[in-house]
Amino acid sequence: MSNSNLNPAAIRINGAYARVLLDWLDQQQLSAPTLRAAVSRLSPGEQVPLMQWFDLLRRAREACPGDGRGLEIGACIAPEHVGVLGYLVQASDNLGQALYAYQRFESLFYGIQMAEVVIRGDQAEIGWPVFGGMSLGLLVDETAISALISFLRKIVPGAPNPAEVTFSSPPPEHPEVYEAFFGCPVRFSAPYVSVRFPADYLSIPLTTANPALRQILDRQSVALANALPGNDPFAFQVQQVFLRLLPEARVSLKEVASEMALSVRTLQRRLTAGGQTFQGLLDRTRQELAQSYLRDRSLSLFEITMLLGFAEQSSFNRAFKHWVGISPGEWREK
């Protein structure tokens, strides 16, 4: 399961996820003004390098020393912290579908796919490789695993505890803190980070299941990947803003720049540096989303027009015909 080709420098989180620290500071009634200011400066769609995230977590632990601080931080997770990935997991039919959705679209959150879900006999496991022997340590890992388990606990009331959790880091001074949090044996100095549980847990239904929403989010995730091949974190960040603003018909250059707390000139310059233009990225994203939505016959052309942020259906028809040569209705009937 280990993969030495994965580069930790390519991993990032988004600003929305980093804001879980603000909820934790509130919960602990900690002022920590410099840490709050550092997190508050991050816009929800901003791409935060993993080392910067590690530094924020380190400062949080300095504000409140002790083992298991990452467990507390991760436990504050909510759907708004993880965006499309969180809503996609939440809309799944059962726990197994949720875990496979997480595995499939993890790259939308971290920039690369790392998780692997496997079934071994009567045990299921979701695990992450160690990057060529390099690890940023227990604080980052425990926060991520706590967030995953806590999120599942929130969408599956009364969810059973894992069978085992493993970390690749050496054991902390108080390992009992981790076993109390996860409610199962926790092993340290393991080959890689993992969560294991009985395979029959995969069939546990989710009360938040929403097949229609899941299909839309699933299609959105695939469309984003198709519109932006390769790894361009900044362009991907812009796409996430598109997703939020399109249904509100607010996708002008000025609106997107404002949402990202950038000047129009800076937004254009950074897109150009990555070989992109604002209009080109918007058109490709809209085209992929349009084709994805058109495959879902439960969505009317009017609804698709609204989801894509067009003022009227005739505008959508003209744009789509420019992209593919035929009208949306003709494309849907092909």
Per-residue pLDDT tens over the stretch 179-221: 999 999 999 999 999 999 999 999 999 888 777 777 777 777 7
Specify the CATH superfamily of domain 211-333: Homeodomain-like (1.10.10.60)
CA distance 171 to 190: 10
Q: Which helix (H) or strand (E) holds 126?
A: strand 123-128
- The answer to whether the CB of 78 falls within 8 A of the CB of 21 is no
Q: Which helix (H) or strand (E) holds 165?
A: strand 164-166
Domain ranges of the chain: 8-203, 211-333
Place of tokens 């989801």: 307
Q: How distant, in Å, are the alpha carbons of 19, 87, 91, 267, 287 from that of 195?
A: 25, 21, 21, 40, 38
Extract the tokens encoding 109: 């959150």
pLDDT of residue 84: 64
Residues of the chain short of pLDDT 50, as ranges, are: 1-4, 132-133
Phi and psi at 117, nearest 5°, equal: -100, 125
- Judging by beta carbons within 10 Å of its beta carbon (0-12, 13-18, 19+), is residue 100 exposed, middle or buried? middle
pLDDT of residue 2: 35
Q: What is the pLDDT of residues 293-333, one digit of tens each?
A: 898 776 778 778 888 888 888 999 999 999 999 999 999 98
Q: Edge-to-edge, what's the strand order for the sheet holding 116-120?
A: 116-120, 123-128, 193-198, 164-166, 186-187
* Nearest-5° Cα angle at 91, 90 to 92: 95
Extract the tokens encoding 53: 């995230």
